[in-house]
Amino acid sequence: MSKVWRTSIDGFSKLLRRRRHQPAVLYVFGLSVWSAVPELAVEELEYPQGAVEKKVINLVEGENFTPEFLQINPKATLPALQADGQAFTDTESVTHWLVKNAPKKVATGTPFIARLHEDKYDPNFPLLLVRNEDELKAAADGFPKLFVQNRQNALEKHSKTEKAVPYKQFYDDKIAGNGGILAIYNGEASPDEFYKQSEAHWKTISGFILNDLPTILPESGFLGGTSPGEDDFHLGAWLARLVHVLGGKNDTEGYKALEKETKQPIPPKVVAYWAAWTERPSWKRVYADGLH
Ligand SMILES: N[C@@H](CCC(=O)N[C@@H](CS)C(=O)NCC(=O)O)C(=O)O
Ligand SMILES: *[C@@H]1O[C@H](CO)[C@@H](O)[C@H](O)[C@H]1NC(C)=O
């Protein structure tokens, strides 16, 4: 074979190799509940070092509201994933891609995932909700107000830039929605409706833990069998957030914090499920700095 041919064939196969090994880019943030879902998946699924590159988008600083990030995910949420020349912009599709393309095969997801992602079980709302004057004061003096204020500042700032023009509707809606909570924290809007929504939210979540999870969970192990499957990545992260909000820790006893809201003992299947997760190396790595 001529030298010229050899060189161009070598060059071409190198190019193919590079394409194949191009890392998937996973956008996450350390305090984000839904980011923990693909993070648990990456740990469990035995991806080789460097196959999934993580990029941090600081939600507390409102970095998700830059026009640059909106170009990647027009919903401005985490997690997001760029892989195979495509963008995946919600937890379910991001995690599904990771499960489908992983070296280790695990049980694929069921309709349980969509159910857990229904608004009525939103694990983010408990960070911000308030049910009475005391909780309102605590939120207004603490992290919730700081978070909501930072978001508002970021939205106002980025929405005024030239690159923001195509996202005007997004910014207008977010500024109104986030601004509504800020106004309650600042005492500029009546909290009554918010109190009611907040009350209902914890009731729904408590009911799900006490009544629904025991009908869904196995006696031991995971929804996916002896090791976690796709459903479990979602449920593990969801539970971790609720335990965290109620002051529980990343250890076997953490689940007890849920009783502050359920006002009843946590069902044995939920206790066993929590224990199954907390002993896994993946869990210890994702929650090394505490639950979130
Ligand atoms: N249903 C969406 C929810 C994602 C979501 O709310 N992510 C949070 C972090 S856990 C977020 O990015 N929030 C930023 C925002 O809403 O501004 C999904 O599953 O992808
Ligand atoms: C739990 O989080 C603490 C930090 O809050 C850390 O020191 C500890 O190693 C973590 N434990 C586990 C099991 O991840």
pLDDT in tens, 6-63: 444 444 444 444 445 589 999 999 999 999 999 999 999 999 999 999 999 999 999 9
Same domain, 137 and 281: yes
Task: Please state the pTM of the whole predicted model.
Answer: 0.93
Tell me, in angstroms, the distance from the centre of ligand 1 to residue 31's CA. 11
Q: Which one of the ligands is nearest to 88 CA?
A: 1
218, part of any domain? yes
Tell me, in angstroms, the distance from the centre of ligand 1 to residue 151's CA. 13
37, part of any domain? yes
Domain count for the chain: 2
pLDDT of 251-275, one tens digit each? 999 999 999 999 999 999 999 999 9
Same domain, 41 and 120: no
Task: Inform me whether the pLDDT recorded for 64 exceeds 70.
Answer: yes
127, part of any domain? yes
Quote the domain boundaries for residue 222.
116-286
Same domain, 36 and 174: no
Same domain, 192 and 225: yes
pLDDT of 66-80, one tens digit each? 999 999 999 999 999
Same domain, 138 and 97: no
Q: Of 55, 75, 105, which residue sits at a domain end? A: 105
Cβ < 6 A, ligand 1 pocket = 32-35, 59, 64, 76-78, 90-91, 117, 124
For the chain, what is the HEC assignment?
Answer: CCHHHHHHHHHHHHHHHHHHHCCEEEEECCCCCCCHHHHHHHHHCCCCCCCEEEEECCCCCCHHHCHHHHHHCCCCCCCEEEECCEEECCHHHHHHHHHHCCCCCCCCCCCHHHHHCCHHHCCCHHHHCCCCHHHHHHHHCCHHHHHHHHHHHHHHHHHCCHHHHHHHHHHHHHHHHHHHHHHHHCCCCCCHHHHHHHHHHHHHHHHHHHHHHHHHCCCCCECCECCCCHHHHHHHHHHHHHHHHCCCCCCCCHHHHHHHHHCCCCCHHHHHHHHHHHCCHHHHHHCCCCCC
CATH number, position 34 = 3.40.30.10
Residue nearest to atom 1 of ligand 2 (CA): 290
148, part of any domain? yes
Same domain, 55 and 169: no
Say what the pLDDT of residue 153 is. Answer: 98
Tell me, in angstroms, the distance from the centre of ligand 1 to residue 123's CA. 10
Say what the pLDDT of residue 21 is. Answer: 59
Task: Inform me whether the pLDDT recorded for 227 exceeds 50.
Answer: yes
Ligand 1 atom closest to the Cα of residue 62 is 17
